[in-house]
Structure 1
């Protein structure tokens, strides 16, 4: 029988599997399959898929094939013998996710602002230093301050406090939970103080965030130009005036949370800076306690860059109180966290840039049981486990094993997938329930190819990688390959850009993705879509 070259009819993790992992592929065809060693041509396993079942998100019938019995290291393909199609080549290896884990982390280096990216570290994606001028405070052009450093937020060159807070929190949590997976170098310049690359890279962003705080403790919401530059504009060519947008409660509270977190995590290797982080966190909290009123952030009328608006600040304040309590053990912060946890004003389990309650909950649950009142710990653990149960149910019901309902393919759906994987991983450790860990890995397999369109949603990896992200350096540098290690936003059924609207109208939710540089609503990258993927990759690397 003649087998067709790789199509999207067999969907699996294109980076492969470690020997002990469950190994499941999905297909829009059912029947007999065989696993073949791609080097020797030997058939090492034969089986049958499940019958086809309708999958509402993808709009196609889907069958599953289980080849978990194949454990020997090697290079393989899967053939559907009745349909005459085959998968891409994939490995079974002891550490199949080591390289992508390191690339996901190094992607933050490629987002660095204010410094030259040298070819010794950046390879062909090097560029000159950018955005070196001071920024002025909106409405006060005579008041200017340094804003150099930090990470560009996404495919644009803005720097946004609430987005940065999620990103640094995820990466610090990854190091805290899986230090052995994140101690190896990834190829960034040596910091002034010797520490693992992961913490050196986060430190680069933390030092910038300190510049976002006013003397009274409040924190500017963002620093950007008034409008986005052209898509092919390299960072050093973006020379328009930089502007500190007004302060916000959400940016101040998120800042307080990550600074308290950093004070705890860095105190043994960067003590002087850890003290600075701690002082900044307490100053921000003091401002919050003295300034209760204020609407959610809205862009000034003359600022057209990303808004990151959020009308609820209580979840950020809960997170800040939790982190300040874990760092200081001062009862005032516990009292604030406990009161906010009981308010029912926000979700206790979300890990987004706007919905941050999950970070506060995870912070408190990571403490020793005796450090929390028993009723509070029980409330939080029950909420976390219940949300994990819901994720397991969504994952089991989906044809591709992803914990998304049809209406959850939103802008940045891949962030939602990785956030839920984070929740499942932590729930597994907190409860000892292994089904949570298995479902977390299903989300990882989805990101790396076991999805409706058969994409590996990380640039530079897989048999069918994203090649044309909405990312200004990748669009403007003249290099055919995009900057590696970036997570694309993923399917978005709201179809919120012209490129997507022209090609995706009428497609099922899970197919609403286009690998096009103009599709910012499906194919942009952001630091806070990469950051939960770093956490999940660290877990997968040890699985």
Structure 2
């Protein structure tokens, strides 16, 4: 850590010297950033943090290579005191659309190096898989050696006719953290996250390892190999229908820090105890857990097995069939006694005190759909969903250790995707309510921190960012995108301590180097990709047993009465990596890399997105309207008949027109996207000299705000309609930048066909394009271009001047039929 800090300081001092900046060291101000970097078109925010009363008025982006100022902005929002700081502020540079390496400069203070490009997350998910492989029990590919090969002997299984000390093969799986306990609940959750990551983002992952984790390709993505390692162990922990184990080993593991080996402190040679799931409280030593049933753990087995069965169905049918069979028996076990199964502890009080279980049952029932359509299971999932609409910690500022696990409700996401209409909307509202509960706390501070500083706060942070992302995916709403990014940024350095919470990521930044890990402490082995626990409330830290820092606190000036974080082996509460938290992060990093990949496949012109992913056979039908709507009812009927969702961009004039209100309400009710197209249909820039603006920024802002004000009367809020299509489809870079500064995304039609000329009429002379000509242009482009119409934003008009008699919208059924036959899916632009 000290070495990295000195390197970083050297970089900053060189830059300070090159700009002849006078830095008042006594001022003690910092700019916190996401050290990993920012995608070009994503939310880009840094945080000003100062122990003085200073808040900068403006900031600059300085190109690292040329030393020139490339962007200046006043977009700084002050939030006052937080933690160790007297003043904090959000520095928003989302409006900058360049790529490269930069420094943020504000009041003479320079940030660490800011990296902006669409490859910043590339390979990050695979990097974190290194830690998962290193956590393997049985054969450990990092050590190239085996450990815990004699596991294990059963306890508490008499109700299933199993004598205590009966041997079961339970070698394998992952060690839970820096200790070598293994819990079914965390392993099943981690397995599910890895399976999801592969299912949702397969293109992100590479094949560099064999199934055993050693070097060499095996024709299967490494993340799927890792997920199968988890599945194979879960199969051992559920060997028969009426036999399921919750835990392998216990806290007697903690007698010493050691590189994993064969352990013999449990009284039966090298075998470790296997705790049978009884559905009743269990006590070893003086600590009694609060188990009430079998559901929480067994349901997690069910969902992991079912998802695994669906993913292996085409590549390994016997294995898929086995997983499907085990999914059914695990569900049977979960239903034996509804309730929660907690872990057992012998010498210390640190039990995984899981206190909720209906979320696990919801996911289990929703996962039945992965293997076979089952309306009864879906109905049961809906019932469970209604019993716990939001994960309880979301509404709290504290919770017990692993009290609510997983840290978000995965079932809501998997269930909502299977639903439509009011049922889907209801599930989506559960996510929204939970996010709003955190947002109520987060919006009061510059870090947008609303996650409580309980043990494993980083795991909660990653999970919450996932919930925000899923809400956006399900609904298309960008309302919480900046909140999601803030939680992601927190993990990678935009936090009071200015450090990434992931070992070795990024390798040029400040990351943990002295975690609570035997690998690093005893052998100096790197634990690449491990997500550490994260900061805890200061009062929690002071109450914990056996914590003693092994060296000076290098983050001393950033500790506060609110929370502490130490990069120190002696602090197991904030700096111990966890397997399950890392698995969740792998999913989030995969999602981020996939999102950036999609952006790279999109096409931009003068700052506006003019084409979606050109590698995917998907088209967005886009309709604009200002003064005409004669095709509205026909278009609406056609879209309904063809089960297609489209996107409609209307001016304020259109939204206010009393003749169009009924149509707009029908479009909204049908689930189509409704967006802004300016208020008065102003022309923003000159037709011949595009760089010449015809409006001022104030005029632009006022016009756009009036457009959204008109949309409000239909219940369409700005943060739920963040795509803006400019009037006349004519704009320049200034318009793009002004749009971004309003938190919106500028979009335009994809050029190449004549579809946007469907408004023309014969009296316009050479500009007129007939319906036949337009249809032919679409067919020709599709047939002659390499990627056809992939990602096209195909723009049409909802109505035209009466002088146009051959209305193109009458050909919409024919057009949709053609596109579907060509293999295109059609959807909203925001999806």
**Structure 2 length normalisation: TM-score?**
0.58
1:221 positional shift: 0.8
In structure 2, the CA distance between the partners of 1:229 and 1:343, relative to structure 1 (3 Å rule), is closer
Q: Is the 8 A contact 2:297 2:340 kept in 1?
A: no
1:254 maps to 2:284: no
Instruction: State the distance in 2 between where 1:186 and 1:3 align.
Output: 49
Contact 2:363–2:415, Cα closer than 8 Å, also in 1: no
Instruction: Name 2:361's counterpart in structure 1.
Output: 317
1:245 to 275, 298, 321: 275
Equivalent of 2:60 in 27, 34, 43: 34
Aligned equivalents of 2:319, 2:456: Cα separation in 1: 33
8 Å Cα contact 2:181/2:249 also seen in 1: yes
**Is the Cα contact below 8 Å between 2:38 and 2:115 reproduced in 1?**
yes
CA contact under 8 A between 1:401 and 1:446: conserved in structure 2? no
* Aligned match of 1:466: 512
SS of corresponding position for 1:539: helix
Taking structure 1 as reference, are residues 505 and 277 closer, same or farther at Cα in structure 2, changes over 3 Å only? farther
Aligned pairs, how many? 522
Aligned mates of 1:276, 1:192 — CA distance in 2: 25
Structure 1 position 109, deviation (Å):
1.1
Of 163, 187, 194, the residue aligned with 2:219 is: 194
1:427 maps to which residue?
A: 471
Q: Aligned runs of 1:82-231 on 2, under 5 Å?
A: 82=107, 84-117=108-141, 122=142, 126-138=143-155, 140=163, 142-183=165-206, 185=208, 188-189=213-214, 194-225=219-250, 227-230=252-255
Q: Which residue of 1 aligns with 2:258?
A: 233
1:292 and 2:311 aligned: no
Q: Does 1:385 align with 2:432?
A: yes
Q: Distance in 2 between matches of 1:184 and 1:365?
A: 32
Q: Which residue of 2 aligns with 1:524?
A: 576
State the SS of the aligned residue for 1:228: helix
Cα separation, 2, equivalents of 1:298 and 1:368: 35
Between 247-256 and 63-72, the greater mean CA deviation after superposition: 63-72
The CA deviation string for residues 201-256 of structure 1, in whole angstroms up to 9 with x for no partner, is 10011101111014233421110155124553001264544110231512222111
Instruction: Verify the 8 A CA contact 2:465 2:484 in the aligned structure 1.
Output: yes
Cα offset for 1:258? 1.4
**Larger of the two Rg values belongs to structure:** 2
Whether the 8 Å contact between 1:402 and 1:417 is mirrored in structure 2 is no
**CA offset digits 1:18-66 (Å, max 9, x no partner):** 2222322111242243322223322323344636432445554202222
Residue 112 of structure 2 is aligned to residue 65 of structure 1? no
Secondary structure in 1 aligned to 2:70? strand
Structure 2 vs 1, CA of residues 94 and 288 (structure 1 numbering), >3 Å: closer, same or farther?
Answer: closer
- Tell me, in whole angstroms, the C-alpha distance in 2 between the residues paired with 1:142 and 1:390: 47
Is the Cα–Cα contact under 8 Å of residues 209 and 216 in structure 2 kept in the other structure? no
CA contact (8 A) 1:221 1:246 kept: yes
Q: Does 2:590 correspond to 1:538?
A: yes
Give the direction of change, closer, same or farther, for the CA distance of 1:537–1:312 in structure 2 (3 Å limit): closer
Q: Corresponding residue for 1:74?
A: 100
Listed as ranges, the gaps of 5+ residues in structure 1 are none
Structure 1 Cα separation of the partners of residues 71 and 405 of structure 2 = 45
The whole-number CA distance in structure 1 between the counterparts of 2:174 and 2:272 is: 15
Residue of structure 1 aligned with 2:405, choices 355, 360, 367: 355
Return the alpha-carbon distance in structure 1 between the equivalents of residues 217 and 164 of structure 2.
34
CA shift in 2, pair 1:223/1:41, >3 Å: same
Over aligned residues, Cα RMSD in angstroms? 3.2
Decide whether the 8 Å contact of 2:358 with 2:388 is kept in 1: no
Task: Please list, as runs of the form range in 1=range in 2, the aligned pairs for 1:368-447 lying within 5 A after superposition.
Answer: 368-369=419-420, 376-404=423-451, 408-447=452-491
For CA contacts below 8 A with separation 6 or more, give which structure has more relative contact order.
1
Distance 1:377-1:127 versus aligned 2 partners, 3 A rule: same
Give 1:1-20 correspondences, 5 Å limit: 1-3=21-23, 9-20=30-41
